[in-house]
Chain A
Amino acid sequence: MTILPDKDAGDLRAAARREVQRGRDFVDEADPEALVTVTVASVALLAAFVGFLAVSSLTAIPFVVFLVASGYGWFRHQELTARVLTLTTTVSTILILGLILVFIFVEAWPTVEYATVTVFGLPIPGLRLFIDTRWSPVSPPIRYSLVPMIHGTVLVTIIATAVAAPLGVAAALFLSEIAPRAVREVVKPGVEILAGIPSIVYGFIGFTILSPWASDQFSIVGQGTYLFVGVVVGLMALPTVVSVAEDALNSVPESMKSGSLALGTTDWQTMTSITLPAAFSGVSAAVLLGVGRAIGETMAATVMLRGSPGLTKPLYNVFYGNDTLTSLIAANYGDADGLQLSALFVAGVILFVTVLFLSIGSQYIEARMRKKLGGAE
């Protein structure tokens, strides 16, 4: 806990007082009957939620009360009920993110605790997950190292980014600046459809066509290479990069581009010296989001990789593919229980936290860019 500077604390206190005052005004103004109705509905919903969490068979009763109360409120006091109901939906959206966090962390904890290593007399939970390199859930000593899977995920993500980032940004430039209208009307839905092809279909085509072809071309023993999983995943992350980068390029004010063109530059000069630098942060946010997609991509990796956790030899051997964090979960959840299942949740936590950070980072970058361009106008 850090102690807030006085000014901030004062601001906060003032804000809190304002909120309380507003709430009091609101209660004073509202119809008491309506207030009772929405209170009953809220309390009932809360009770239903608690009941659901506690795996109670009585969950349905408060839920029915909630339905009845909000139904009554809808017909008698629609104004207030609608407001409270929409607030409830908003809260539940945030709640879902919170629940995901809590539940996968709780399920992951046993393995983290199991993998405690004492360094200088100080126990550090979960350290052995990252310093050992063995994943051997059956034969003793039982070890759940995530290093091989993290290695696989990193390799796949690097290759996927190398595919998706340049091609995606070029395609975004094409769509936003270069393409004639008629061409854009064809290419843009095309990119969207590329995003729509289910990942398992990509995986299936990779598994039946690409993997045997790669084994043949590179004289690999068996099937499954990080290289081609990376290429497929890159293709799947491409639409994300294209659409976000295109938004960023479109948000560069037209006046900036026209100003440059008026100086007699070519379109390409305007793009490289005006549009791209101005939209640079937005474009990098697009790449970050694409990286997030690539990290979390599951089915193509599960189907195309070998599913035998281990490091490749040498480490940069991309012509061999063992397992990624996502494919580990998808391939092992079935016969895992106890600590091993919990280890899968640890993999899930790593994925979730990494991608969440990428998402928040890209949002921050985008917000900054919007502010900058807004100020420039």
Chain B
Amino acid sequence: MAGAVESELVSEDTSETEAVAAAAVGVAAILFALSLAALFELVTITDTLAGVPMVALLGALLLLLGLGVVGFGVGSRLGYVATNPRPSAGLVAAVAFSGIWFVVGGLVASQTFGLGTIGWGGVAFVTGGLAFAVTALPREDIGSTLPAGLLAVFAGAVFVTGLIGPGWVWDLGWEQSASFNAEFTIPVITAFCSLLVAWGAAKSYGGFGARGRHVGAYLLVYLNALSIIAVLFLLVAFTVFKGLPGLFNGLSFGLGTGPETTLFGFTFAWPLSWPFVMNGVALLNDVNGVLPAIAGTIWLVIGAVLFAVPLGVGAAVFITEYAEHGRFTQVVEIATNGLWSTPSIVFGLFGLAFLVPRLGNGKSLLAGMLTLGFMLLPLVVITSREAMLAVPDEYRDASAALGVTKWQTIRSIVLPAALPGIVTGIILGVGRIAGETAPILLTMSGSVAPPGSQTVDVIGGFQFISSPPFVENPELLQATSALPYQLYSLITAGVGQSSNIANIEQFRWATALILLVVVLGFYAVGIATRYYFRRKLQHE
């Protein structure tokens, strides 16, 4: 085959051009990182780097990159670079580029030259149309490099010539004022252009055609995944970094340093003193803490699980094992999925209207427990049902063949086999509800910064009375705090309500951190359980 021989020959010198394209991608990546750093004010755009002003440096790099990519495309078209492009860059790219150039043309015409609506509209249409034609009509090597490269060249030229310099401001002129400043505009334009150029360069690296598109798309998809993980990491790391000082404030170890606790009649002192999780808020405390909120969250989770798990697993058993697949199971499925996506604030409203008047006519821990239980319920149903559906029918048949009843099959075959899935689902669901603020805001929120004496003690709260309902527990019917609510109220509270807390900023971050630790702890356990069971299943 002639083509095979040819590609064998050109692969010799493609390695060189590939290196050039890869270098362009690398420079674009550096530029992207630099613009992000500028956006988050790690470097300021008024700085100079090695004697060159930052803006000029960004502009020069953009110019260089843009010219490089355009040169690559033109070189490929003229046959200096061996590639295998398609006849056109395709409609998607054409529409995207025409949109970008439409905006560029419109902005330049209306803001720089001050043309009216008709004027800038016309210019925008011309630039957009040109970009469309340049992308769609010529061969792919021109179509996917020229519009991207020229944009970078244009932006670079604007930066280098100082048309957009560090002092540049575009006041939008709205009644509620807002304006684009240079500190935002320059990094964002740079980042955007470097992404476009990197895509073009990646396509060139792949030699255009199917492989080029593959490389270009993979670059963007990998970048996307990377940035999601980076955002996650940043969020968690930042909270940990800001929260740690407050969390371990006054921590000390040693026998007898901690507070005394009485459990089952024995009184003992903790071997460590950790004020932030062992104290409440009080005027005389050396270090204030969030013990009442932690206790509240723990009891909330226990209550919600006690309510939702039996109901949810029972419902899942019925619709998977007993009910025939039909209208009824469909209704249940739609209802559970609908419940699952219902906004949490609506659950809060429901708790306010339905539970609060019926449970002591005031916000209470019990109302919060049940409201969160309502939220947890659909998740338990959905995950338990999935876990039970995953149990192979052979198991049920084998059991039924032994002559046992249906319920015995469910109890001794289906439920044990589905248990890992159910447990994982419950743990992940608990993680979700433990961090919910909106429902408990409306149903159980108490004081902003509760003292340690307000820690709920549900077990000790039960007492028998002579009139129906014969058992009562005032602890359950009291408003209390929980970690997410405590964080919310610390954010929104006025100065007077939290005046006992000396370093409010540190206290807030520490609260956020401990909430994050509790919630992500549930998630970590849930995910780990899933991996453990999956590995066990694979080994068997």
Q: Which residues of A contact B (CB under 8 A)?
A: 52-53, 55, 57-61, 78-79, 82-83, 85-90, 92-94, 96-97, 99-100, 103-104, 106-107, 167, 170-171, 173-175, 178-179, 183, 186-187, 189-205, 207-209, 217-221, 235, 238, 265-269, 289, 292-293, 295-299, 302-303, 312-314, 317, 319-320, 326, 329-330, 333, 344-345, 348, 351-352, 355-356, 358-360, 363
Contacts and interface: CB of A to CB of B under 8 A. Distances in A.
Interface residues of B, number: 108
Given A89-B318, A93-B315, A198-B515, A193 B232 contact: yes
Contacts of A204: 487, 491, 508, 512
Q: Which of B220, B347, B522 has the most CB of A within 10 A?
A: B347
Shortest 8 CB-CB distances between A and B: which pairs? A296-B343, A198-B435, A60-B469, A89-B314, A319-B178, A86-B318, A268-B214, A266-B214
B177 A356 contact: no
A192 B520 CA distance: 10
A358 B224 CA distance: 27
Contact of B176 (A87, A197, A296, A312): A312
A221 B176 contact: yes
Given A194-B228, A319-B178, A86 B315 contact: yes
A297 B177 CA distance: 27
A198 B218 contact: no
Contacts of B341: 289, 292-293, 296, 355-356, 358-359
B298 interface: no
B377 A96 contact: yes
Contact of A200 (B169, B171, B218, B487): B487
Contacts of B354: 99, 103
A356 B214 contact: no
Interface stretch (B265-273, B285-293, B331-339): B331-339
Contact of B350 (A55, A104, A197): A104
Contact of A218 (B178, B471, B512): B178
B343 A298 contact: yes
B58 interface: no
Nearest to A289: B341
B395 interface: no
A330 B232 contact: no
Contacts of B221: 170, 173-174, 178
B179 A99 contact: no
B436 A198 contact: yes
A359 B487 CA distance: 31
Contact of B523 (A100, A175, A196, A344): A196
Given A86-B315, A90-B332, 17 more contacts: A52-B358, A83-B318, A93-B332, A94-B335, A106-B353, A107-B349, A175-B225, A196-B432, A204-B487, A235-B231, A299-B438, A299-B488, A326-B345, A348-B345, A352-B343, A356-B342, A363-B333
Contacts of A103: 350, 353-354
A58 B174 CA distance: 62
Contacts of A317: 172, 174, 176, 178
Interface of B: 169, 171-172, 174-181, 183-184, 210-211, 213-214, 217-218, 220-222, 224-225, 228-229, 231-232, 235-236, 238-239, 310-315, 317-319, 321-323, 331-350, 352-354, 357-358, 374, 377-378, 381, 405-408, 410-411, 428, 431-432, 434-438, 441-442, 467-471, 484, 487-488, 491-492, 508, 512, 515-516, 519-520, 522-523, 527
A183 B226 CA distance: 10
A296 B342 contact: yes
Nearest to B438: A298
A307 to B, nearest CB: 9
A302 B313 CA distance: 34
Contacts of B432: 195-196
23 contacts: A59-B469, A79-B406, A83-B407, A85-B314, A89-B313, A90-B315, A97-B335, A170-B225, A171-B224, A189-B527, A192-B428, A193-B236, A196-B519, A197-B520, A199-B436, A201-B487, A208-B508, A269-B213, A317-B174, A319-B178, A326-B438, A330-B345, A360-B337
B228 A93 contact: no
A295 B342 CA distance: 10
B368 to A, nearest CB: 14
A186 B233 CA distance: 12
Contacts of A220: 176-178
B342 A218 contact: no
A79 B406 CA distance: 8
Contacts of A313: 174-176
B339 A96 contact: yes
Contacts of A292: 341
A268 B138 CA distance: 23
A205 B238 contact: yes
Contacts of A299: 437-438, 484, 488
A360 B352 CA distance: 26
